[in-house]
Amino acid sequence: MKVYNIVSLPGDGIGPEVMNSAIKLLQTVSKIYDFKFEISEHLVGGASLDYCGAPISSEVLEKCKNSDAVLLGAVGGPKWDSLPQDKKPEKGLLELRNSLSLFSNLRPAKVFEPLVDSSTLKKDVILGADILVVRELTGGIYFGEPRGYNEDEGYNTLRYTREEVRRIAEMAFKLASKRSGNVTSVDKANVLDSSQFWRNIVHEAHEQYGDLILNDMYVDNAAMQIVLNPKQFDVILTQNLFGDILSDITAMITGSLGMLPSASIGEKYALYEPVHGTAPEIAGKNKANPIAMISSIAMMLEITMGLPNVAKEINNAIELVLQSGIRTEDIAIDGTTSVTTTEMTNYITQSFTENAKKNLANQNSKATREQL
């Protein structure tokens, strides 16, 4: 039996609640299929700060490096907002990404047909939208030096190297080749020298992918176009800061941040997490939408474990539950049934179990017939 070593980092706010949903589903998956998950839970973010004075410890980083994949809930909250930048919970996430060299962040935003009325945009604008934001994750203004502030000024440094831009561009082109073959590179080359450099290197990388379409777009226009006509986009390639912002905009065309998963991928390691934050206003109230965390599990099974069929079963289960009118509070509308985090998890787990077992039975029956 194949055993996968998973590190679970629930974090803060609603992080532990949605992580519980993910773990429950993984346990169900392992009961149906012939593999096992060894899951160890550790602290990150504010929870780690309260325990050991650091947003992530060296011991936890080492655990992550020895795992097959890392699952993260969410980090941060008002309790720690007044701390210095190097002590804030979010610093733990940045350290994790940097230590594991997770240079690419993949954030899919696909509109589920049952949820078109949950979006603030018109149905005919969003129906059929399927966007993948490919965000550079370990460079740019979040990591550039020098940085700091005093009583008179605050400053950060936006810097990219040729290798950093080229490897994320190649990642975007490879992903686009498996989709619709269209890449939109988002920058601010009319103002920023670093963006002109970015654009130059992206076009150099594109020379090896001549069968793919490459368009350039300024970030302010991209923000507008995502809302105006999201279906024009396939893969959006962009730098760290712009990707952080644009992926939240793409999230809202789906109806809720609670719907969006993400994968942070490096040469050796992988981290999976929902796009949403800690939502302290609903933490502990059993109101959080677990779908983004559960969808992140599906991404992990497909990308790291090489189990696309199992991932597809999970995504199908999510869609079937949504089609039945089951909703968490953030995506509920008139005529649907609003449920808790726990109840939504149970519905998805039940749907997955029923359909996975049915499909396995059909596969076994087909194999038997072929042997006769």
Which tokens go with 104? 């690419």
Query: Scanning the structure block, which residue is given the tokens 């189990």?
Result: 307
* Given the residues 12, 187, 244, 330, the one annotated as active site: 244
DSSP tag of 134: E
Q: Does 211 qualify as catalytic in the annotation?
A: no
The rounded distance, in Å, linking the Cα atoms of 322 and 327 is: 7
Which tokens go with 247? 């992926």
Taking alpha carbons only, the member of 243, 235, 56 closest to residue 139 is 243
Which tokens go with 86? 């190097």
* Given the residues 50, 86, 117, 220, the one annotated as active site: 220
Q: Does 244 qualify as catalytic in the annotation?
A: yes
Q: Give the CA distances from residue 236 to residues 133, 230, 239, 358, in Å, rounded to whole numbers and listed in that order.
A: 5, 11, 10, 37
* Given the residues 68, 130, 216, 248, the one annotated as active site: 248
Angle at 50 between CA 274 and CA 262, to 5 degrees: 10
Which tokens go with 201? 């290197």
Residues 94, 232: contact at Cβ < 8 Å?
no
Taking alpha carbons only, the member of 32, 65, 99 closest to residue 363 is 32
* Given the residues 4, 188, 209, 269, the one annotated as active site: 188
DSSP H or E run through 99: helix 89-99
Q: Does 12 qualify as catalytic in the annotation?
A: no
Q: Does 2 qualify as catalytic in the annotation?
A: no
* Given the residues 4, 88, 91, 142, the one annotated as active site: 142
Residues 133, 246: contact at Cβ < 8 Å?
yes
Residues 326, 347: contact at Cβ < 8 Å?
yes
Q: Does 248 qualify as catalytic in the annotation?
A: yes
The DSSP result for 207-261, as a single string, is GGGTTSEEEEEEHHHHHHHHHH-GGG-SEEEE-HHHHHHHHHHHHHHTT-GGG-E
**Positions marked active-site:** 142, 188, 220, 244, 248
